[in-house]
Amino acid sequence: MRRKSSRSSTDQNAELDMTPMLDIVFIMLIFFIVTGSSVKESGIDVNRPQAQSGERKEQASIIIAISPNGEVTLDKHVVDIRAVRANIARLHAENPLGSVVITADRETKTQALVAVMDQVRLAGIKNAAIATESVTE
């Protein structure tokens, strides 16, 4: 009678399957790309006014931009001033803890800024912030 060896033929041909590890690496890569690019921007370039008493606000979920000619941009879309209130109410309902930042160009007329602030307050947001540049001495 012949003895069986302790090694079978399947053990000699065994290979390490790298597919699950590669899947996990690609999923992690996608996760970091998506979460890393979540910086919100206003949609237009704005020259903000300078202020010495400005405070840094880390995260804003709703950014409203006002161009020098009074054009209002919300969520990277140009909106009419009369539609700001409804859009703000909708966005605030989606994220009740989010804050509102109004980014107005330094050449924007005060009437446009006041009209946007009025619409934001009518939407139920009482503490909207105005974005400024810090003054360097």
Domains of the chain: 50-134 (3.30.420.270)
pLDDT band at 128 (very low <50, low <70, confident <90, very high): confident
pLDDT, tens digit, for every residue of 41-80?
A: 555 556 556 555 555 665 667 888 888 888 898 878 888 9
Nearest to 130 by CA among 44, 50, 43: 50
The stretch 1-26 carries a mean pLDDT of: 71
2: Cβ contacts below 8 Å, ≥ 6 apart: none
**Residue ranges of the alpha helices (H) in the chain?**
9-12, 19-36, 84-94, 110-122
On the question of pLDDT at 40 being above 70, the answer is no
On the question of pLDDT at 134 being above 70, the answer is no
On the question of pLDDT at 28 being above 60, the answer is yes
Q: Residue 109's pLDDT is what?
A: 87
73: Cβ contacts below 8 Å, ≥ 6 apart: 42, 43, 44, 64, 65, 66, 67, 79
Q: What is the Cα gyration radius of the chain? A: 27
